[in-house]
Structures are given as C-alpha cells and as structure tokens.
Structure 1
C-alpha cells in the first residue's frame, strides 16, 4: 500500500492531503518541526523531528520510495524522493518526475543566486490560490492511484504471478 509523506512545515494543503489519503486508505505522515495540530484520523500520523535545517526533509527522504507519494515544495527533497522512486506533488499541483526534476533544481539554484545578488528585491511568488488547491487535489488523486497500481504490480511480482 502506498504511503503519503507530507513536508508539513508551511504546507497549505495538509487537510486536502488527509482527505485523499483517508479515501484511499493510505497511511499518511505529517512531518514537521512541531506546531501542527495532531490529526484525528488513525491513518494520519504526526512525526515531529528535531529542530534543524532539513530534518523533516531527511526523515522523508530516508523513508519514501517506490510506490509512495511525497508532497513538498522543497526541490532538493523532491529530487531525492524522485531518485528513490516516489511520486512527488507540489502543493500547487505540479508533479515532479525524472523528466523535469533537473530543470526544477536548476531554476531553484538560479533564483537563489538572483535573490542573493539583489538583497533589496521584494516579494516572492504569487499567492496560493483556489486554482492551485484544485490542481493539487487532482494531481494528488492521480498520484495516489498510480502509487496504488504500482503497489499492486509489486505485490504480483513478489507473488510470482
């Protein structure tokens, strides 16, 4: 069965992800440094990692693998998850795959360089919208179905059929 890992610090779609996970009967891990309301559903587990840079990312990267789904905006974490065979969905509904993770990493690095070169630059990306939320739900639903299919296929392979 697919597992769903949420990089929960500053994630705007935790509730939506929980609904999808519960509908699919999938175990979901909300991984954060703390400050998140404990989930009510038994399939959803809060995982609190120690303070520190990328502790939640490391926890997820160490566990997510083929047939799992990771929700994150963190591009380096997404790259590790994709390399491990997990499906990755950003909160805005964009999916990251082996085909596009290299470009995402390059863009991230370029934007970091631009920000550091102009300390007076104001603003960031556009605000999170209802359309983003809708795209996320659609992308997560597709990813969960694909992960469940991969898990079924892996189960058949292990059974020798």
Structure 2
C-alpha cells in the first residue's frame, strides 16, 4: 500500500489515496486538473474514473474494481431548453482509449476564429499498468472483480 501511495510524488495523470476501509486504496484519474476544469465548467461536464483496490492479506490478493461516473448538462432554447444526462458503471474494464477535441469560437488579436479549445486523451492502461506492476512486484496477485461481494466477485 505504501508503494502505491508513493506514486503521488510522481508526475502522473492520477491520484492515489486511502479508501474508507483499512484495506482499501482508491486511484482517481485527475480529470479535475487545471486543463480540464475550465472545459467542465463551460459545458457542464463532469466525468470520472476510479479504480478501487481492496487488499486481502490472507490470500495475498488485491481485488480491483473499475468505476465510472458522468454527469453532463446543457442549456439551450426551444424544445431543448435543458438537457441532463447521468450515468455510472462499475466492474471490469479491460481496455479504454478516448481522445476528444473541442473546437470553439475564440478571439485572437481581436479577431474571431474557430480554433481548437481543448484536447485530451484518456488511456486506461496509463493508469492501470503501473498499479498492476507495483502489486505484482510486491508479490501480490492482481484480481479484477465485477463486485466486492465475495459469492459473486470472488
């Protein structure tokens, strides 16, 4: 657990912290950094990815669950006056790569132009692979689970 928490000292796209339980570590994608924050405020977007790790000392297993949540809203006019969208999921994600580019009206040298406002990439392997390597090099087994409920999730 100490090795995982030490990852916070590096320049990485995620934050590692202790969870609610004594045997739990939570890894959050840093979607709320300065680059993302302005875009989220402007468009009413909130997206998050979390990896929850629970340590089973007896079996030397680290059980891992992927969690996603998003909340998007926009306001307009006419029949689409207000739009809300919320979703959440949990389980095992084997692969995800997402790249987004947002273009918008900007002013440069006092003249309007239609340019790239923001671009970001989310690569799940960038987050998970260092975690898996630390767990395995410490002699533990990394076990992805759909649920932490033992009869179903193992």
Task: Please identify which structure carries the higher helix content.
Answer: 1
Q: Is the structural similarity TM-score above 0.5? A: no
Q: Shorter-chain-normalised TM-score: which range?
A: under 0.3
Task: Please identify which structure carries the higher strand content.
Answer: 2
Tell me the TM-score normalised to structure 1 length: 0.26
